[in-house]
Chain A
Amino acid sequence: MRYTFETLEKIRDEYKERIEIRRKRTLEPGKKYILTCGGTSCLSIGGEKPTYQLFKEIVEKEGLEDKVEVINVGCMRMCSEGPLVAMYPGGVLYTKVKDEETAKQIIDAALSENPYVDGHHYKDPITGEVIYHMWDIPFFKYQESVVLERVGLIDPTSIEEYIGAGGYFGLARALQMSPDDVIQEVYDSGLRGRGGAGFPTGLKWKFARQAQGEPKYVIANGDEGDPGAYMNRAEMEGAPFALIEGLTIAGYAIGASKGYIYTRAEYPLAAHLLEHAIKVAKEKGLLGENILGTGFSFDIEVFKGAGAFVCGEETALIASIEGKAGRPRPRPPFPAQKGLFGKPTIINNVETLINVALIMERGSQWFKQLGTDRSPGTKVFALAGSLSVSGLAEVSLGTPIKVLLEDIGRGAPEGHTLKAVQLGGPSGGCVPTEHFDAPIDYESLGSLGAIMGSGGVIALDETSCMVDVAKFFIEFTKNESCGQCTPCRDGLVEMYDILERITQGKGTMEDLEKLEKMAVTVKNTSLCGLGQTAPGPVLSTLRYFKDEYIAHIEEKKCPAKACLPLIEYYIVPEACKGCTICAKNCPVNAISGEPGKVHVIDPEACVKCGTCMAVCPFDAVVKIDAFGKE
């Protein structure tokens, strides 16, 4: 059946209650809804069977369909505690649900007066308090739910649930306005591109609308290649219809009849769910010919990349769809004038387009209430690295960095101390603790030498070497450089060689000068964003952590004890009990010692894999400086 404006409202009313129950934060008698997280992270740390299947099988086997409904939803955000399961009404959150036994206990508990299951709830790493209800957990309490509102709430395969949660009313409203008014509404909202650069979305659309040339194209950029960022994947997997709605609005606004969603080959689940959603939306007349009976026709195709980071750059992405190697070209002309097949094309980030759908549904004034004047709205960040709790966090722009790290992420795990945060991936930079009060917005992060980028947040503690982190990113961008322009192709290799020397204790102070000079040259002279931003990790670590570089060069020491050529593993004789566990586990038989007697590592034979340190029950294995050891 094809939907009309009227049927859209009817479906919303029909499904509204089902959705509203999943927003209820207090326990109520009656039917229970069990939401299982179907995000890739939860699947990766789950048991033999996906969580959804575990619950579904029990409910069917025991004939509980009338009392319990199991719904597989998208990412529920707190990935480090997964696999996650939530029970509504009430929002009781169960953590680490991996086996049938636990699933059974949860179903029994959910149907009783006391819906809690020992050992499967969040325990706050700072206060030690066990918190049962999702929205009382600090990780969620300090977040906004705008872009991720429907992710983790609805079944991503159900268009009815999406409509019940307010979906498709943005498109419905847009189609009753003129394209110019739609562009004006987006422009007035102040929305800026969420892919990192922060260009005003409304302005980009204006250029494309005015550009000459037919047909025009719109592309959703889901080529989320930044290591450490996975919000776009969660958005595409958790609410694929939201992206399709946003992209359709973009098509209507600029006068395009064809759209692409470009996603990564590494995200097979996202591509599968998007293809399903496209098929359903077409059947319902929300995509394809004559959408909602308005005469507007628009089609979307999912295009899978083939593993090239540079294709996140818009001109490289276009080349990739055209079947070519993904090499960027100089701009101007910008894709809004000459894009795919030489036609006017806009490329927006996935999260930008989801915001568009919400802005059209709720209005630009609503959107401007969130965030700051210059950076309105929210942004989803991926928290990872040395944090007690990690996963996806959505906050208003302008929120201080420390809210993300301390209030939401609950700081470094016990025994560790944060020393910096890496923001914005390979294009970004490292910000030290003294700047954790800084607000997260495009301008503030830029002045600190980092960027908002796509939203990757990697917390680094005392065990992370800043020179090694810089080397890691340069190795990445060096490998991902398309090789077209000299500064990026050769400059990054040169920078990498210097960093390699420094981390081996073979660097000189002249190397350091050369590194800085090279970084500035690559930044200023590269053709595209990849090369222009690649030196960011080096420049920011030189700015804040130059002492670490100097320690590697002058003392041949890695202060974090992370650079393998500069360290040795050593067994502290006073602590060793002679239990032989390290010797048994050493893959190269580099440890000698009799049972009950002190063991010794042969530094010549040792490959520094760290296994002995990991298995020693007495913490007798330590890392020491290889040079100037006592």
Chain B
Amino acid sequence: MPDKLTYEEIVKKHIERKGRTTEVILPVLEEIQETYGYLPREAMEYLADVLKVSPAVIYSTATFYHFFSLEPKGEVIIRVCRGTACHVMGSGIIMNELIDELGLQGEGTTPDGKFTLESVGCIGCCSTGPNMVVIKDGKEEIFGYLTPQKAREVVKKIKEQIQSQGVGV
């Protein structure tokens, strides 16, 4: 990928801006997560070293928040909203439909590493639910007024896109 910052550069960038303070921990981990798709162990150890804190401090934060993952996520992340409005409008059925379409046992990543399916706290589009967020190539797109069929079609379309892109590479 072009001009992708390494974790050392990400840490440096935030320290330069804010100083050597624990305040950088969340923003740094967020950027590493976004860039790498997960938090590599050596990145967390590097951050601990720079901030002169125990790696346990970083690990404790990294494992507390839903947005961080210690294992690589899929190229495409699908987040089904689990907010109340989406729940009463049938988000559970959408989730089951996507589990089936992706051939998963539940939430998680497909064996080929292409898709990660997860639930997300309310995304705040409650009047247009059930909703899901699709994150692909760093771009986020929200799909509202979902039906099981519509959700399945969205995933099928992405699969086709991936396949056609794959031929070119």
Give A contacts to B, CB under 8 Å: 40-41, 43-45, 79-80, 82, 224-230, 233, 264-268, 303-309, 320-327, 382-386, 390-391, 422, 425, 456, 458, 460, 464, 469, 472-473, 476, 480, 482, 587, 607, 609-611, 614
Q: What's the minimum C-beta distance from B103 to chain A, rounded to whole angstroms?
A: 12
Q: Is the CB of A306 within 8 A of B82?
A: no
- Residues on A with C-beta less than 8 A from B162 are none
Give B contacts to A, CB under 8 Å: 21-27, 29-30, 57, 60-61, 63-68, 82-90, 93, 96-97, 100, 120-129, 131, 140, 142-145, 147-149
- Residues on A with C-beta less than 8 A from B129 are 384
Once bound together, how far apart are the Cα atoms of A472 and B81, in whole Å?
Answer: 13
Main SS class of interface, B: helix
Q: Is the CB of A227 within 8 A of B122?
A: yes
Q: A323-B23, A324-B22, A325-B64 are in contact. Are A40 and B84 (CB under 8 A)?
A: no
A sample of 9 inter-chain contacts (CB < 8 A) reads: A44-B142, A79-B126, A266-B123, A309-B121, A321-B23, A323-B22, A324-B57, A480-B121, A607-B96
Once bound together, how far apart are the Cα atoms of A325 and B87, in whole Å?
Answer: 28
Taking A229-B122, A230-B126, A382-B126 as known contacts, 4 extra A-B pairs with beta carbons closer than 8 A to each other, sorted by chain A number, are A233-B124, A382-B124, A382-B127, A464-B88
Q: Is the CB of B68 within 8 A of A306?
A: yes
- Residues on B with C-beta less than 8 A from A383 are 127
Which residue of A226, A307, A385, A422 contacts B66 across the interface (Cβ within 8 Å)? A307
Once bound together, how far apart are the Cα atoms of A249 and B21, in whole Å?
Answer: 27
Q: A44-B142, A322-B22, A425-B84 are in contact. Are A390 and B126 (CB under 8 A)?
A: yes
- Residues on A with C-beta less than 8 A from B126 are 79, 227-230, 382, 384, 390, 456, 458
- Residues on B with C-beta less than 8 A from A469 are 84, 88
Q: What's the minimum C-beta distance from A113 to chain B, rounded to whole angstroms?
A: 34
- Residues on B with C-beta less than 8 A from A45 are 128, 144-145
- Residues on B with C-beta less than 8 A from A325 are 60-61, 63-65
Q: Is the CB of B82 within 8 A of A265?
A: no
Once bound together, how far apart are the Cα atoms of A472 and B29, in whole Å?
Answer: 30
Q: A40-B124, A384-B126 are in contact. Are A308 and B66 (CB under 8 A)?
A: yes
Q: A226-B122, A322-B22, A472-B87 are in contact. Are A306 and B67 (CB under 8 A)?
A: yes
Once bound together, how far apart are the Cα atoms of A82 and B142, in whole Å?
Answer: 14
Q: Is the CB of A458 within 8 A of B22?
A: no
Q: What's the minimum C-beta distance from A420 to chain B, rounded to whole angstroms?
A: 11
Among the interface residues A45, A266, A304, which one has the most CB atoms of the partner chain B within 10 A?
A266
- Residues on A with C-beta less than 8 A from B96 are 607, 609
Once bound together, how far apart are the Cα atoms of A456 and B129, in whole Å?
Answer: 14
Q: Which 4 A-B pairs have the closest CB atoms?
A: A230-B124, A323-B25, A307-B66, A323-B22
Q: Is the CB of B25 within 8 A of A306?
A: no
Once bound together, how far apart are the Cα atoms of A505 and B150, in whole Å?
Answer: 32
Once bound together, how far apart are the Cα atoms of A304 and B31, in whole Å?
Answer: 11
Q: Is the CB of B128 within 8 A of A82?
A: yes
- Residues on A with C-beta less than 8 A from B57 are 323-324
- Residues on B with C-beta less than 8 A from A41 are 124-125, 127-128, 144
Which residue of B29, B61, B125 contacts A40 across the interface (Cβ within 8 Å)? B125
Q: Is the CB of B124 within 8 A of A422?
A: no
Which residue of A228, A309, A610 contacts B93 across the interface (Cβ within 8 Å)? A610
- Residues on A with C-beta less than 8 A from B67 are 265, 306-307
Which residue of A44, A464, A482 contacts B131 across the interface (Cβ within 8 Å)? A44
